[in-house]
A and B are shown apart, each in its own frame.
Chain A
Amino acid sequence: MQPLTLRRLLWTCGGLSALLLACVVLALKLGAVPISVTDLILDLGRIAIGRANELPTEYRLIVFDLRLPRILLGIMVGAALSVSGASFQALLRNPLADPYVLGVSSGAALGSILALIIAPGFALITPLGAFIGAIATIAGVYFLGRREGQLDSTTLLLGGIICASFFSAIIMFLMTTLTGRDLRGMVFWLMGDLSTPVSAGMQWIFTVGLIAGIGAIYSTSADLNLLLTGEREATHLGVDVTRVKLVVYVSASLLTALAVSASGAIGYVGLLIPHAVRLIFGSDYRLLIPASALCGAIAIVLADTLARTIVPPTELPVGAMTAMAGAPVFIYLLRRGLR
């Protein structure tokens, strides 16, 4: 027996954090303007001791005003999508569950587009609309998946897939009929992209929402372990199944909404990262949730760096990168896990 200990949890998260930091440095370095790693570390050190104004202006502009915010956004989006994917997989006891597959991402995208059309002037309208869209979608999909008072996983997934395609169709419709308006940014809600800068207010909302959402889900991680063996069994072991499901559904919708309102519907991350983490570190949710958050952040940072640099000077949407890199890795991991 090798039960999870606090020590192993901290070591794993520490190691992954170090890896994430290395990826951030790499992502800062790479790009149209090359910067040496030594300079970067020295500059980071100067910022850490509060002497940022000693840096050369063009450096600061490129590295810390353009690249760093985008990297931080990628970290948050990756963490949010991975954790909500892992949570949906536990709640539905279904390895195929993911905010993208369940239609929650599309619902959030539609919600934020509708909110932009209705009240374009209000700054915080996008995340609010996305959250309402995400919650409404998961409630609707949940309702569709209920049969005789019981939640049927297969029906629920099918309902999600149908909702996703329905919402995508509406988004396409809105995009083509409303060409007169300023809807340029909408393409990225379909593909997923990190290039649009996020306002300072949004960054705060994003940080607070991310910490609250992941924290709430993490507080139920021991219960999620038991839910994986069945809801009835979990109840008999003392899990308040109704409360856990409510907390996790709302938090996972919040995380998805935040990710979508910042970067559009990036697919594959919520499905792929928790599976990869499960194959490497095991399926204990007390480790899986933080490890997924960190690995999701690493994956998005790497994918976005690749998207920025693979065909210079053009930039690809990060959603295309995650899909292209995700599918083959997923197949490899699946084969390895089956053997």
Chain B
Amino acid sequence: MSTHETFLQAAAGREERPSRDQAVRLNVEQASYAYQVTAQAVPTFTLGATSFQAREREIVAILGPNASGKSTLLRLITGTIAPLSGRVELDGQETSRLDLRTRAQLIAVVHQESPVVYPSLAGDFVLQGRFPYGRALRFANRQDIEIARNALAQVGGEHLAKRNIGELSGGEKQRVILARALAQQPRLILLDEPTLHLDIGAQVELLERLRQLAQEARYTVVVVTHELGLAAEFADQVVLLQHGRCLRVGTPAVVYQKELLEQVFDAPLDVEIGPAGRPRVNLRARRGEDIT
């Protein structure tokens, strides 16, 4: 438990609340989706109407246990799938109607680390982020190289440029993948379970960096996660999902209620409000009960 606490303390870095008068950048309005094998078949999974809004510099956490609809909501936001009803808009444009190139210039997606088939240098990998801006064979020009170098510097990875991706540690690789997303110069950065394969130090580092990037470069950041503690410390807004239903949207302090979280995550939890006004979640052992 002590590592968890130090981690939360370390994580509670500088923080400025995004002001409410900024224009809405990402608008998810009553968006729903259903996976169907054929048009007549019973849907295998549905995501009920979900609504939230995000402004620039804001970090939104999409929170929920496995199979709660997090990935579906992520795909709706990226525009990979179009909502059955409702709308998903980025700066007033429906994301599913954008052409691939424009979409890649506006939205960057960081997936869980994917295996690298053939060796390549981290620097070249980051340069791939310039693809949506290039023409034909996409030889990198001086500006592209400069942007890629800056992106790598923003994640503190200048020294990684000449290293082979396959040789990097989990945390270093995650930084390089994030740098590629930054090289896209997007307005919206989506991260899918970015902390899954990271140890606790790398998790805090990544999220602090995201907080700083959102502040300085005015990104809107959406993080899909099932980690309660991280979402509480870093998110300005939490979207809580369970079984494909959107249960609650709001600041962590509003969403983190003991009974609600215990029911959603099916675990006994303690929720307390920390000194910074953010909730803290601790796992409580079921004393006297058999945990099998």
Contact = CB atoms under 8 A, between A and B. Distances in A.
Interface stretch (A123-131, A191-199, A282-290): A282-290
Interface string B106-134: 01110100101111110111111101101
Contacts of A238: 100-101, 103-105, 131-132
A321 B71 CA distance: 51
Interface in A230-282: 230, 232-233, 235-240, 278, 282
Nearest to B152: A1
Interface in B164-188: 184
A12 interface: no
Nearest to A95: B117
Interface residues of A, number: 30
B137 interface: yes
A229 B116 contact: yes
Given A1-B124, A221-B137, A95 B118 contact: yes
Contacts of B114: 229-230, 232-233
A93 interface: yes
A233 B111 contact: yes
B120 A282 contact: yes
Interface residues of B, number: 40
Given A1-B127, A236-B108, A238-B103, A93 B145 contact: no
Contacts of A232: 109, 111, 114
B128 A237 contact: yes
A228 interface: yes
Nearest to A3: B140
Residue from the set B116, B139, B149 with the largest chain A CB neighbour count within 10 Å? B139
Nearest to B180: A237
A31 B92 CA distance: 72
Given A95-B117, A236-B107, A1 B145 contact: yes
Given A238-B100, A238-B103, A284 B124 contact: yes
B187 to A, nearest CB: 14
A5 B140 CA distance: 7
Contacts of A1: 121, 123-124, 126-127, 145, 148-149, 161-162
Interface in A92-108: 93-95
A211 B137 CA distance: 18
Interface string A212-236: 0000000001100110111011011
A220 to B, nearest CB: 10
B107 A3 contact: no
Contacts of B107: 236
Nearest to B126: A1
A206 B162 CA distance: 42
B281 to A, nearest CB: 31
Contacts of A237: 104, 128-129, 131-132, 184
B128 A226 contact: yes
Contacts of A283: 118-120
Contact of A222 (B117, B137, B161): B137
A314 interface: no
B72 interface: no
A6 interface: yes
B117 A93 contact: yes
A28 to B, nearest CB: 35
A238 B101 CA distance: 5
Nearest to B186: A236
B4 interface: no
A187 interface: no
A230 B128 contact: no
B145 A3 contact: yes
Contacts of B257: none
A338 to B, nearest CB: 10
Given A1-B161, A3-B140, A238-B104, 5 more contacts: A228-B116, A228-B118, A235-B100, A238-B131, A239-B100
16 contacts: A1-B124, A1-B148, A221-B137, A222-B138, A228-B117, A229-B116, A230-B111, A232-B114, A233-B109, A233-B114, A235-B80, A235-B100, A236-B109, A238-B132, A283-B119, A337-B119
| Shortest beta-carbon contacts, A-B, top 5 | A238-B104, A1-B123, A238-B132, A283-B118, A3-B140
